Structure 1
Amino acid sequence: MTNPSPLTRTGTLDTVETTSAPSLTRQNTEVSVSECSTPPPGTPHTTGRTVEGEDPSSKNPNSGQGKLKITACNGWEARMKLEDREREKKRVKRARSTTSLREESLEGSQVLRRPAKRGKLAELPSLPLDILFEIFGHLSPVDILHLSRTTKAFRQALLHKNATGLWKRVWENPEVEGIPERPEDLSIPAWTNLLFDAHCHNCLTSNIRTILWMLRVRLCKKCSKNLLVCETVFDKKKKLDAILMRCVPFEKHPSDDMKYCLTEEKRSFVKALESEPGDRTAFVAKKEEGIKARKAHAKRCREWAALIAEVREDELDDLRVQRKVFIRKRLEELGYEPEFEFLQMFENSDCSYRVIPPVPKFEWFDWVDEVKHAKPITQRSWNNRVKGIMVEYMERIRAIRLENDRNMFLEGRREAVALSWADWISEEPQLKRYPPGYFLPTVVDVVEHPRTQAFITEPGERIFPKEEFVAFLDNFHDAIEEWRREKGKALFGLVGDVCKRDAGLKDEESGLEWMELAMVVFSCTEYRYAKHLTAQVCDDQTLPWERSSPTNFTSFTTTDRPIDWHEDTCMFFPEYLHHVCCKASQRNHDEHTFCSSLRKMWDMETLRFNVKASAVVRRLLEACGLGLRTKARELDKVDPRLVCLKCTHGHGVDGERTVQVRTWRSSVKHAMEKHWGSNTVRFQRISGEDADRAKMLEESEWGRRTMWCMHCRDRRREAGPLTKEGLVDHIDNDHFGDLDPGDPDLPDAEGTVYTLEPWDMAHIQPLSVKMVPKMGYPLPGLS
């Protein structure tokens, strides 16, 4: 056989057929073929043609292609056909055929094989060990540990006893200074693995950060249950268990704060103890000394681990800060600086005056995943992924900010309407039209009225002058009357049927005069509200001075004040209309709105009609000889003085018996508190002469005159009961001297500057007095 031509190409032949081999075997042969189809001169000719009339594809009907016969003349064509088949099969595993070439055609041939690709460091293990160890000496211990796990060659070289010098050298590097000394019973690779490789030492679960220093092992939760024994299993009263507790290392597990030991160490100690001949005291003492040394070493390791964790946390914090600054700077360059000011307002200041409740819920900037990652960020990563996520987040913040800005602007308009309403309702024309106690909507009702809302929510950002608000309110009288009729109709539905029948009230009554009737009595279900602590009416002199003293009417600081939380509140006109629970809000202090935190829309949710008190007033009117349609204010002008006949056991006024005399309001409260509103309570009215004498006795107990400022209605701070001097100071301090109080004793100032009739609390009643009336009105019938 002659040598092949120098112009040859080598290829891998996957499938080759022989005609004479009885058995099929897989062979990898290298064949050199000429670029031309004719064999070189001198090459012996071998028959490689197919049988005449035979289709080559019929050799393998399943594949659809005939088996390829290779001769010295068609080597190049055979190689090209094989490559085409490989492309058609999409690089499927080659060499699946078991045919072989004829022996005579294999002589002098070579296998056509493509060289395998190898990495750049593939020849590194073949370098001399001294050169390798010199290179590896500049690495860290954990790098050597990881390198020993890459290939078998590296493992054999780096974990051999000849590599001890290398391990000692890398442990002398400055970057591993401060690490506690290695225990003598651990090899250097094992110590390195314990310190730096965060995986379970049993099942190789990754990211196991907790090291059990006394046990010198890292374990996952599952392996901890299988490989550890809790201290509760041991009985210290048993000798063997007591020795085990002293001689086997235990570690407190962070999951349940219980001490555990390794099952294998327990078994090893028991086996060693049993195999110890003679006296075992020395063996146990040696083990105890070893445990003491192990505890001291574990303590140093914990301190080192805590220091490393602290340093690492500082590094992570620095990375987070750098990442946050980078992202914020890029977003500010994109025009999101107002959004960061909006977010800063929530973090560092009280947002109650800059955000309209409810406060919007959104994810804080520092809590966004892309911001809180403790990873370095580059311009490339910002452009590829982070930018799109953060821009989407800032767009959500921008939508919240714009909505809040609009709400704040509308809030300014609401505030202007509220202040204009307070000024408008205090003007002289309105004071005459709406006297004290007149049933009016609250400032929130006015602002939330559909007509007002249409005025406030006008498009644009124009700031309305005060004159426009005043002109708007001048046309609001019809809306006020409509509101009064609507609320009055709803309130009329609460009145008891008995009261309606006795007072002759009908459901179709359109007026609101029925509200002023003395028999219309309401109570509040929210009796625990602080407003009810005020002593609205005083009963008798037997009560403690702290309860009845007028100086303590609005003082809630006395801890030993005998206030009855369950006392029944009896409210007459107009108190129940202006009651604080109907107008005051219980919202959170942070929810700042135009009407402050003490205003809401008027509602009657806490009101209930007091049937018993209404029946008591009915019997009181009968005792006074007045009609059942008498109004509360008319009864105040009559100002009768009455005696409770239930307290005198049915004995009336006879000029000899000492009895307790009360006002009509105090009599109603007395009947409700002392007699639980019993229908057997009866009253007798004393004569006018005795009533005047009773009033003089009341004045001797205490005399005072209280006033209410007329210009504080529906303002944020309404002044309470004031004396004459207090009224003057209040006008100077709170109204800045814009009002002239005049002389409070003159009748012209009443109704314009002040009023003697409160609208949101009961009249302060004088103390009841004890006296001997000469005579009284005839006793009413007991039927």
Structure 2
Amino acid sequence: MTRQSLRIKENQVSSVDSDIHDATASSRNSTNAGRKRAQDDEHREEDEKLEEEHSRKRVRKSDSDENNQSVESSAKKTKQRMPEQFRKVRGRLGMLERLAKDVPLDVIFEIFCYLDPSDLLRLARTSNDLRGILMSKSSESIWRTARSNVEGLPPLPLDLNEPQYAHLLFESYCHVCNHKGRCDNILWSFRMRCCKSCAAALPSLSDGRYKMDLPVQFFNRNLLPQECIQGATRRHRRDVGNFQIAARLKAEFEALQTPKERDAWITRKSQERRAIVAHGRLCEVWHKARLSKRTDELSDIRKQRKDAILERLAEIGWREEAEKIIDSWREDEFTNHKAVKQPKKLTDYGWNSIKTELVEMLSTHKTERLAEEKRCTLIQRYSRLEKEYDDIRSASDLREPFPAVGDIFTYKVFENLIWETPEDEELTDVLFREKLAQHLPQIIEQWKPAKIQELVEIMQKSVPSASAADLYLATSVFECTNCLSRPKMHYPQMFYHPCCIQNPAADSLSDARLKTYTYGRNTKGPWMSRRIVWSDSGSRAATAIVESCFLDPVTATIRDLNSANPLIECTTCYADKIYPFGRAFMRWPFALAHSSESAAYQLPHHTLVFNSFGEEAQQILACEPERYIYSSHHDACCAHCHKSLVRSFKSLVDHFKANHSDIINVEKLEASSVNKPEGIQEHWYWNPCFALRDLGNEFRYRPPVAPVNVAATFTADTATSTTSSDTSDDISSDS
């Protein structure tokens, strides 16, 4: 018989009161019930009035202290009038409790048919009455109808009932550790959800403990359920089992007495396992589709919230800044902000709670953005100035010192032009070119004498009588103390050495500004001589090379040494077993660095032999390759236009033919028997931007017979020499 509510019963009693006038007791009960109902309605109306009054006073809580006291008094009265059984019930007087007791079952069933299994599962946990209704056998149709409301959901499996199936599908916590965090990893064969940490504890199928004491038939018929667990990477996958399921199956198997029963049981369980696996595949497809749909729904909600926040920001003038963050190539800090990314609809209360935080974030971002835009503008201006200056320097004679780009950057005219010009005003290449043409001569006129004097003072520490004219001597050799190999250099190579421009600006303000362009590393600072010292070993080696060319060390210049271009052999390298490729020959720039490099690395002395090699000279010269034919190193400069060129005879002649045919007889150069760069030395010079070692090259000559003995040698350590009949010279440096 269908259960009816008390209200319906009371209405029926009132309508048929004339028919049951002989039932005095029933009439009395009906009267009492009506009186009680009237009292309940009166109390309910009174409670509602108190609640409304309490709500109004709570809204006006901040108006005055008197209102606060009245609200507290009203709340206290409401609490006193509330029945004891409803004081700890959430909701308005426990409406679900009254629903389960008063509403007819057919109405409840009709309502529940519009829900899904997850809703029924949660309703069953609200009260004992609802649990009794939903967990009864008679409510199976409700679960079935609710399950049909879920689109694409696979049918109920044979091994689960409706609540169990709903629990597996919709309860998102881990069934092993009961952690309330969301767990979407479902092991369908095990009928459980399992987080990654708990899944790592599941036994592997290859583990002997899992197979221990289990019947052989389980493995022959593939009876035990298994799952594939994804590890930290895609390659780390393993098949796992379940101890509890294995133990239960073992107990069922051992409870059977006869082999026939066991065979039938194994056949049935195998079929059930195949059905579970097939059903699990369907559930996995549905589960992934559900997660994807949920992800899309959350994305839509977040997008709506983001759009609503942007509209609110437009009202207070911050939308433009937020859109700049969104359109930036960097990480979208605004969209990923915790106040924006929430999958929750924006309300007035929610906006008021996040408004201050968002405005602070946008204000900070605007400050940083403006600073970054200013820095980019400054970098662009520095780059344009540097480009125009490099173009001017590349067309200048580098045989004389030229200011570093850092000296131009720190010159007040250009520094103020870059920093003081408003950001919205563009500084063009033409403007920088005009400014350089106007101020560069004055800069060089002030800068060059001061820097040359610094070098002279460095020389005078070792050679007190040195003067500026001595810088051009071939025996004036300097070295860098900042480089590990302490490279040797002639004037003006030190003015283009990278270690000499890695300096802070003299003015602290200029230094701070320069770091904006160089990213704080002082890689393009003004030129300083603090790392340059006089090289005693290099000077001795150069003196020996000059004397081997029968030149006077006191007057011989670098140009004289280039014209002599002596051929030099290192007998130490030939005797060394590390170089079994023949005798080592080189020209003077490579030999100067080669003879003195051993001092820095504490290598054995290098003994150098100069010029006179008798009848073998032509054979040795024939082995000398033109190393830079296929090189991209522009280590030569045209003496006429100062353009950087590849140091090869062909590239030099091609350049002269294309640009200087009016002042150079190119046909005569091509007809010359000397088709090497050294043969036309008057038309080019070494690029001082390259180190001495890079300006020369070493080559090997393998003689057909044992090399002749060399009698005359020169040792840089003792600065003494002897001469034999073949007048050959050598040098053994302390390097």
Q: TM-score range by the shorter chain?
A: 0.5 to 0.7
Structure 1 counterpart of 2:687, from 731, 755, 758: 758
Aligned equivalents of 1:392 and 1:378: distance in 2? 19
Aligned counterparts, 1:465-480, within 5 A: 465-466=431-432, 467-477=434-444, 480=447
**1:187 CA drift (Å):** 0.9
**1:383 CA drift (Å):** 3.2
Structure 1 counterpart of 2:477, from 520, 527, 548: 520
**1:695 CA drift (Å):** 12
Residue 340 of structure 2 corresponds to 371
What root-mean-square deviation, in Å, do the aligned CA atoms of Structure 1 and Structure 2 show? 5.7
Residue 708 of structure 1 corresponds to 637
Change (3 A) 1:190 1:526: farther
Q: Is the 8 A contact 1:643 1:684 kept in 2?
A: yes
Matched, 1:144 2:113: no
Structure 1 counterpart of 2:558, from 633, 656, 659: 633
**1:231 CA drift (Å):** 3.2
Q: Is the 8 A contact 1:436 1:758 kept in 2?
A: yes
Q: TM-score, normalised by structure 1?
A: 0.59
Aligned equivalents of 1:660 and 1:114: distance in 2? 107
Same amino acid, percent of matched pairs: 21
**1:154 CA drift (Å):** 0.7
Q: Deviations over 1:503-559 (max 9, x none)?
A: x524x97859447544626589989xxxxxxxxxxxxxxxxxxxxxxxxxxxxxxxx
Residue 11 of structure 1 corresponds to none
Q: Is the 8 A contact 2:549 2:564 kept in 1?
A: no
Q: Deviations over 1:154-204 (max 9, x none)?
A: 11111111211222222222xx13112211121101111110121244664
Residue 274 of structure 1 corresponds to 254
User: Is the partner of 1:209 in helix, strand or coil?
Assistant: coil
Structure 1 counterpart of 2:366, from 398, 401, 404: 398
Residue 415 of structure 2 corresponds to 453
Aligned equivalents of 2:363 and 2:560: distance in 1? 66
Residue 303 of structure 1 corresponds to 285
Q: Which has the higher helix share?
A: 2
Aligned counterparts, 1:142-181, within 5 A: 142-173=118-149, 176-181=150-155
**1:305 CA drift (Å):** 1.4
**1:413 CA drift (Å):** 3.9
Change (3 A) 1:144 1:404: same
Structure with the bigger RCO (C-alpha within 8 Å, sep 6+) is 1
Aligned equivalents of 1:767 and 1:632: distance in 2? 26
Matched, 1:440 2:397: no
**1:400 CA drift (Å):** 2.0
Structure 2 counterpart of 1:505, from 453, 463, 472: 463
**1:697 CA drift (Å):** 7.4
**1:487 CA drift (Å):** 7.2
Change (3 A) 1:225 1:576: closer
Q: Is the 8 A contact 2:86 2:94 kept in 1?
A: no
User: Is the partner of 2:276 in helix, strand or coil?
Assistant: helix
Matched, 1:383 2:348: no
Structure 1 counterpart of 2:272, from 290, 302, 305: 290
Aligned counterparts, 1:305-704, within 5 A: 305-328=287-310, 330-331=312-313, 334-336=316-318, 339=321, 343=325, 346-347=328-329, 364-373=333-342, 375-378=343-346, 380=348, 383-419=351-387, 421-422=389-390, 435-449=397-411, 452-458=414-420, 460-461=422-423, 465-466=431-432, 467-477=434-444, 480-481=447-448, 484=451, 488=455, 492=458, 505-506=463-464, 511=468, 513-514=470-471, 517-518=474-475, 520=477, 522=479, 571-575=489-493, 577-579=495-497, 600-601=524-525, 615-629=540-554, 633-639=558-564, 641-642=566-567, 644=569, 646=571, 663-665=587-589, 667-668=591-592, 679=605, 681-686=607-612
**1:124 CA drift (Å):** 1.6
Structure showing greater Rg: 1
**1:152 CA drift (Å):** 0.9
Q: Deviations over 1:311-346 (max 9, x none)?
A: 222333333344444444554565556646754674
Q: Is the 8 A contact 2:218 2:224 kept in 1?
A: yes
Residue 41 of structure 2 corresponds to none
Q: Is the 8 A contact 2:610 2:728 kept in 1?
A: yes
Residue 105 of structure 1 corresponds to none
Residue 22 of structure 2 corresponds to none
Aligned equivalents of 2:328 and 2:276: distance in 1? 52
Q: TM-score, normalised by structure 2?
A: 0.62
Matched, 1:186 2:112: no
Change (3 A) 1:181 1:615: farther
Change (3 A) 1:694 1:677: farther
Paired residues, number: 578
Matched, 1:264 2:244: yes
Structure 2's unaligned 5+ residue stretches are 1-69, 504-514, 576-582, 667-682, 711-723
Aligned counterparts, 1:10-49, within 5 A: none
Q: Is the 8 A contact 1:666 1:765 kept in 2?
A: yes
Q: Deviations over 1:71-112 (max 9, x none)?
A: xxxxxxxxxxxxx9x9799889999xxxxxxxxxxxxxxxx9
Q: Is the 8 A contact 1:249 1:261 kept in 2?
A: yes
2:333 counterpart letter in structure 1: W
Change (3 A) 1:483 1:275: farther
**1:151 CA drift (Å):** 0.9
**1:412 CA drift (Å):** 4.6
Q: Is the 8 A contact 2:570 2:584 kept in 1?
A: no
**1:130 CA drift (Å):** 1.0
**1:712 CA drift (Å):** 9.3
Change (3 A) 1:448 1:644: same
Change (3 A) 1:225 1:674: closer
Q: Is the 8 A contact 2:215 2:250 kept in 1?
A: no
Aligned equivalents of 1:660 and 1:232: distance in 2? 67
**1:153 CA drift (Å):** 0.9
Structure 1's unaligned 5+ residue stretches are 1-83, 96-111, 349-361, 528-565, 586-590, 651-658, 732-740, 748-753
Residue 47 of structure 1 corresponds to none
Aligned equivalents of 1:155 and 1:711: distance in 2? 102
User: Is the partner of 1:369 in helix, strand or coil?
Assistant: coil
1:578 counterpart letter in structure 2: Y
Matched, 1:128 2:104: yes
Q: Is the 8 A contact 1:641 1:691 kept in 2?
A: no
Change (3 A) 1:383 1:647: closer
Aligned counterparts, 1:243-258, within 5 A: 243-244=217-218, 246-254=222-230, 257-258=237-238
Aligned equivalents of 1:702 and 1:301: distance in 2? 72
Change (3 A) 1:215 1:625: same
User: Is the partner of 1:150 in helix, strand or coil?
Assistant: coil
Change (3 A) 1:222 1:768: closer
Change (3 A) 1:250 1:744: farther
Aligned equivalents of 2:174 and 2:606: distance in 1? 86
